[in-house]
Chain A
Amino acid sequence: MPGDVLDDSGMASGSNTYLLDGRVHAGILGVRNVFQNTVSVIPFGGRYMPTAGDLVIGVVEDIGPSNWLIDINAPYPAPLHVNEVPWKVEFGDTSRFIGMEDVLMLKILSVDESKKIQVTMKDSGLRKIEGGQLVEIAHPKVSRVIGKSGSMIQMIKNMTDCRVFVGQNGRIWIDGDRENVQVAVDAIGLIDAQTQSDNLTDRVREFIE
């Protein structure tokens, strides 16, 4: 809980914690995590904070003459500039290529100190998404869905024969034939609900079968 004393034996304060009187206190609702000599908190939820290099799935919420504003489930919408898309776009012609409520795969280019975000679509694999289904989960759970070196997500892909793309902002896109997509969606729901289990990989495999 926020304010709880995490440690008073002199450990360093990690992410989501603060120091008070030489003791480390929790700064967010989450789980205490100790790594080497640092104690930090893994949050249960909260808004996604964008970091450069992350791959995310965004939804267009506004169109301007030289950019689009994308909602990436962060505290601020991210502008996508016309120079950052693979097509040549004339000034003012933006709506022809990407319209309102379109879903896009994007990469975070940079985040500056006042948290202004720059995104791009000019990288391999990034494109406008058509079809398929979008699932949203709490962003700290994304690493669970991906698994150790991608094992969990690879297993889901192989067993359901679907294309899956996981955004770091908690949005996941799944495409395949209808039944398999539903199974994949449910499997992700299972991971979301049971993140504390140890042999989650096995449980998910059993569930899919």
Chain B
Amino acid sequence: MSGHTEMTLVNEDGVRIDGRTADQHRPVHIEAGVLSNADGSAYLEIGKNKVLAAVYGPRECHPRHLQDPTKAIIQCKYNMQSFSVSDRKRPGPDRRSIEISKIIAEALERVVLTELYPRASIDVYIEILQANAGTRCAGLTAAAVALADAGIPMRDLVPSIAVGKADGHVLLDLNKEEDNYGEADVPVGIMPSTDEIVLLQMDGDMTREEFDTAIDMAFEACHELCDIQKAALKKRYDTGAVREGSE
């Protein structure tokens, strides 16, 4: 956001440096059920991002003092691997990771039916294996798939994507250069069935009209993402589907 470059991020024809138009997201690939130890898991690739999400629970809540007698709590740990970025990231949680963990947990709280499991904890682990901007959105999208894979009751899946502004254009799904040298970065996460926003942050400057355009773009892309999430889950369970009970 604070960098400056001679590079043209978006040329006069509206084509970005990786060949996409302003409203195209990067190619996405999601796979559910990749870790056999976890109750639920998902692997997600979007552009050059590679994200692994694992869900354990509902299980007993540790530390005890965080227990909630009326519902389950969601504990989320977002972590970037040292090798995920070109400038080695020092291992261990830093303030950014703690913030991202908090917002992802809050977004998931809105969707998961936590009242069914009082005093329990649902642990979500998100590991970034390769980062190229938009990792918190990729993490949330993967975490939602992992939660559904774990059989945890939820209102809806949560697709998430970042919109922003670079070189004066409103763009969908910023890549690393657009994020670093652009004017605004707005990660958005929604609940597709009600179109409620569960995650929204903003970094930078945008006019009101640009913001409205950006949000509309984000909503459309999120609905597309949701279909991809569902396809990944369907693929996982299609071969082992349970027939409607007649016994």
Which residue numbers of A lie inside 8 Å of B, CB to CB?
1-3, 5, 16, 18, 20, 25, 27-34, 42-47, 49, 75-77, 114-115, 140-141, 143-144, 147-148, 192-198
Contact = CB atoms under 8 A, between A and B. Distances in A.
B244 A3 contact: no
Interface string B138-161: 000000000011111111110000
A157 B39 CA distance: 30
A29 B242 contact: no
B89 interface: no
Interface residues of B, number: 39
Interface string B157-182: 10000000000000000000000000
A133 B194 CA distance: 48
A29 B148 contact: yes
A46 B69 CA distance: 21
A196 B241 contact: yes
Nearest to B229: A1
Given A20-B194, A148-B247, A196-B240, 14 more contacts: A2-B148, A3-B156, A3-B191, A27-B113, A42-B244, A46-B150, A75-B58, A75-B120, A76-B119, A77-B60, A114-B118, A114-B119, A115-B118, A143-B245
B237 to A, nearest CB: 6
Given A1-B233, A31-B242, A147 B247 contact: yes
B110 interface: no
A18 B151 contact: no
B47 interface: no
The 8 residue pairs across chains A and B that have the minimum distance between CB atoms = A46-B151, A3-B156, A75-B58, A45-B151, A2-B154, A75-B120, A3-B193, A196-B243
Nearest to A198: B243
Contacts of B57: 47, 75
8 contacts: A29-B233, A30-B242, A33-B245, A44-B242, A46-B153, A115-B118, A148-B247, A196-B241
Nearest to B154: A2
A196 B193 contact: no
B242 A18 contact: no
B194 A46 contact: no
Nearest to B247: A148
A14 B39 CA distance: 25
Contacts of A16: 153
B117 A31 contact: no
A189 B243 CA distance: 17
B16 to A, nearest CB: 32
Contacts of A43: 151
B18 to A, nearest CB: 31
Secondary structure of the B side of the interface?
A: loop
B39 to A, nearest CB: 7
A148 B153 CA distance: 28
B102 interface: no
Contacts of A18: 113, 155
Among B59, B149, B156, chain A packs the most CB atoms within 10 A around the CB of B156
A25 B152 CA distance: 15
B240 A42 contact: no
Interface string B216-237: 0000000000000010011001
Contact of A47 (B39, B148, B242): B39
Nearest to B151: A46
Nearest to B156: A3
Given A1-B233, A16-B153, A75 B60 contact: yes
B242 A42 contact: yes
Contact of B60 (A33, A49, A76): A76
Contacts of B234: 1
Contacts of B157: 1-3
Contacts of A140: 242
Contacts of B243: 31, 195-198
A30 B194 CA distance: 21
Contacts of B155: 2-3, 18, 25, 27
Contacts of A114: 69, 118-119
A143 B247 contact: yes
Given A2-B156, A75-B59, A143-B247, A25 B193 contact: yes
Nearest to A34: B244
